[in-house]
Chains A and B, each alone.
Chain A
Amino acid sequence: MTTVSADARTLRTLADEPWVRFAVRRLGRLLVSVWVLVTASFLMIHLIPGDPVRAALGPTAPLSVVEARRQVMGLNDPVWLQYLHYLRDLLHGRLGESMTTGLPVSKVIGDRLPATLQLAVLAFVVAVALSVPLGLLMAVLTRGGRRRPVELGFTSTSVVLGAIPEFLIAVGLVYLFSVRLGWAPVAGRAGPDSFVLPVLALSVGPAAVLARIVRVETLTVLQADYIRTARAKRLSQARIYLRHALPNALTATITIGGLLLGALVAGTVLVENVFAWPGLGSSIVSSILSKDYSLVQGTVLVYGLGVLLVNLVVDVALAALDPRSTIRES
């Protein structure tokens, strides 16, 4: 008797801890988002006007084949039953079969996912490695209105670079380095050479945007009262920038970086098509065009899950870095 109530009491006191409440709330949000994603990708097929199987197989396919396919895919069952089967299959890792090739969708995705991941992760690393030091340097150099021409040059360059979409940069790079100079292969994924142009195309835009944001955030931080206090304590410049300004500037940068990673993931779709990269991006476009809805569904699911995971990592990183955030959330 006493042990039960003691457990109940420890549970209740645990629930009062702000970080526990934060973890529970964040996981709850993740679960709801995943459920929304799963349901949306399920509904995707059912919201399409007309018969998806007929659309995939074409108008000349015999009726018997179409009917057989429909039966196999369970499309004649009532919608709610289909939904339950869909959820059950998902939990077992079964994503259905491609309507055009008949291969299991999970295999197709499994084959192509690593290529996309490599591209996205490399591009992110390059973008961050370029932009964060550049943004910091620019902030330190141009604070208080110093060096106006440098500020103007940096801002205009980064605005222009950030405004050019990645597929245009990709086309431009292909033209310059492959067609004209022949330094890098035009398409395909074979050897480290072939990574250079796609990674560059994916990372230049985000790097420019991120550098600008890092600069603006650092400048804001440098105006803060606690930096004035640090200067009043006559600490060295290095200590003021690295120990006082940087940790506070990072918090804002992490949020934006998280958003950019999400957008990078989507940018792979475009860049992969330019370079005929054998990843998920090129397959999703061809599967939309060929109306291979099972494959589209699976790919959308995978992309969506990737984005949600990235957001989770960003939130956890923020909570760990900023001691006030968990309290603020509650």
Chain B
Amino acid sequence: MRWRGVLRTPIGGSAAALLAAVLLLAILAPILWSDRADAIDTSQILQGASSAHWAGTDSLGRDVFFRILVATRLSVALALGATGIGVATGLLLGTAPLALGRRVGRLVTAAVNIAVAFPGLLLALFFAVIFGVGSTGGLFAIGFAIAPAFARLTQTLVAKIAGQDFISAARIAGVSRPRLLVRHVLPNIGEPLIINATIGAGNALLAFAGLSFLGLGVQPPGYDWGRLLGTGLGSIYVHPEAALYSGVAVIVAGLAFNLFGEAAAKSLGHRTARTKAAPPSPRKDSTVDASSDAVLTVEDLWVTFNGVSPVRGVSFGLRRSEAVGVVGESGSGKSLTALAITRLIELPGHVSAGRLSFLGTSLLDEAPDRLLGTSMSVVFQDPMTSLNPTMRVGGQLAEVARTHQGLPRRGAWERAVDRLSAVKIPFPGRRARQFPHELSGGMRQRAMIGMGLMGTPALIVADEPTTALDVTVQRQVLRLLDSVRADEGLALLLISHDISVIRQVCDRVLVMYAGRIVEDLPADGLSLARHPYTRALLGAVPSLETDRSLPLTVIPGRPADPSALPPGCAFAPRCPLADARCRQDDPPLESTEDGQRVACWHADIAVGVGHA
């Protein structure tokens, strides 16, 4: 089923056609032309190319061109045979740890690891000595030479599957080891194995040609491409066509296998289809007034990737010392909003906005690096991957000062250590000399915050800063963010899917759904939320005060998919208050008297939708 998708790609389709042609030739050529290939004509020895003999003749006057065609069968058959031996052996060795238990498995793994260290040709020569020179010997030689690589591949694939929870579930259900292997493991590793086997067949073809070329493979009177190449090489001065055409045959067949395998690998790895998204419907939201106190002003922000817009017209503002939280689930667009504001979105993403200004400077066209480097700091979600693993922590902080503040090496380092102590990392001097993996998760996140404090920031944008941390460490980091904000008078933009995190630190909350802001309200007024989504969200998440005798609020359906949005309000399919108007017209974000904003046609209905 999915292999048809492979044929549709240009490379996949042409490789498949080439492969089919090669296989067809392998089957038909000897039937059609073996008499012409074997016809000895002593009057035409070692002739060059002519109209009678397109590739000339060999030392017995035989037509080389037809010999090349007929040799297809032997060359391809030997390649496929060797691949079969290699894959079968490799499969047995690779599944041994799972099938035979831990101790035997470890022995087998060690043996495979040693064998894998040796290049294929060396192993092939070794086996060629043992099995003897000739086609059969070569078959086993190359087969066993490629087995270790397949064993290693199988081992890796099996290990990946064995770590999945469904294997554990099957073991708990009492499934026996052999049945586990056959029913669960093999079907899941089948596809990558077949693809690699196809590429392996191409390599086996080339390897066998090499062996025959050296004289160690097919022996006369048999002949394959390698042998023809080897005999042709001797007369390359006089009559190069024999060698060259044989070479071309080998290359074309080898490429056919390799390219087909690689095309299959590429297209079967990509599951996502490029769907054509509905054209975005513009919505007129109320604009934000830009006071002199404004640190950040965003108006009508759009982020688009390949025709899909995960962020559709976001407008808000941030003042000095203000902490604003952005809450939403997957697909809400909250993280992309943060990335867009911090100008970190690269091609193929596209950012546009009516207005995007930071401390009075527009960020839309030119990215003022010095301003952003010193006054805006960003804290990301996973501190393990967000810090360079091969660079010391102190150095990663210091380079900010050296780049933007012109400090010399020593001065920058001292500032780095100072910032590390400002974020309450004990023994900052020692920690600065360490690498990120030597620090705990909480400490790494503090270091990230410290990195943002190297300059004189006016805004901290924190994208899920505590999600990867333990809950007790979370609290410490949030407290740190809060105290830093209070001490330095910073503005804070905190993005999270966890409303309790936002409640602990922020003054104001922006609720996002399907790329738009649906409500803008103060953090201590959450119980009076007006938008049905906000109310349902609060009711669906249990807190320590939730009434245990009542069921949690259920929001039917799934979070919105940005590539397949319905017309009208994006929340309508899941909303208990939705009516025909909601499904047709998207409600704009409108300000209410108390400075809040909400985007709902039924915002004034104070119905108890869920309980907060």
Contacts and interface: CB of A to CB of B under 8 A. Distances in A.
Nearest to B214: A285
A251 to B, nearest CB: 8
Given A179-B236, A288-B128, A323 B347 contact: no
Which range contains the number of A residues in contact with the other chain? 35 or more
A303 B122 CA distance: 8
B247 A324 contact: no
A289 B215 contact: yes
Interface in A1-38: 32-33, 36
Nearest to B434: A323
A163 B258 CA distance: 8
Q: Is the interface of A mostly helix, strand, loop or mixed?
A: helix
Contacts of B358: none
B119 A229 contact: no
Contact of A172 (B244, B367, B388, B400): B244
Given A33-B114, A163-B258, A269 B121 contact: yes
Contacts of A111: none
B259 A228 contact: no
B129 A175 contact: no
A145 B347 contact: yes
Contact of A232 (B128, B216, B240, B342): B342
Nearest to A247: B390
B391 A324 contact: no
Contacts, number: 178
Nearest to B113: A29
A185 B129 CA distance: 32
Given A165-B206, A323-B389, A160 B373 contact: no
Interface string B242-286: 011001001100110011001000000000000000000000000
A160 B255 contact: yes
A270 interface: yes
A288 B129 contact: yes
Interface stretch (B94-102, B170-178, B378-386, B421-429): B378-386
A239 B399 contact: yes
A244 B229 contact: no
Given A179-B237, A236-B403, A229 B387 contact: yes
A164 B122 CA distance: 19
A266 B117 CA distance: 12
A144 B346 contact: yes
Interface in B418-440: 435, 437
A287 to B, nearest CB: 10
Nearest to A260: B119
Interface in B446-492: 448, 451
B213 A270 contact: yes
- For the complex, would chain B's binding face be called helix, strand, loop or mixed by DSSP majority? helix
B391 A244 contact: yes
Interface residues of B, number: 68
Interface string A60-82: 00000000000000000000000
Contact of A269 (B125, B244, B387): B125
Given A165-B206, A248-B389, A225 B380 contact: yes
Contact of B247 (A48, A168, A226): A168
Contacts of B594: none
Contact of A307 (B122, B206, B229, B380): B122
B250 A168 contact: yes
Contact of B210 (A41, A160, A247, A270): A270
Contacts of A266: 119-122
Interface of B: 110, 114, 117-122, 125-126, 128-130, 132-133, 202, 206-207, 209-210, 213-216, 229, 233, 236-237, 240, 243-244, 247, 250-251, 254-255, 258-259, 262, 342, 344, 346-348, 367, 369-370, 372-373, 377-378, 380, 382, 385-391, 399-400, 403-404, 435, 437, 448, 451
19 contacts: A32-B114, A33-B117, A48-B129, A144-B347, A163-B206, A163-B255, A225-B380, A228-B386, A229-B388, A232-B377, A232-B380, A234-B372, A244-B391, A248-B389, A265-B122, A266-B119, A270-B121, A300-B122, A322-B389
The 6 A-B residue pairs with the shortest CB-CB distance, nearest first, are: A234-B373, A266-B121, A225-B385, A266-B119, A234-B369, A144-B347
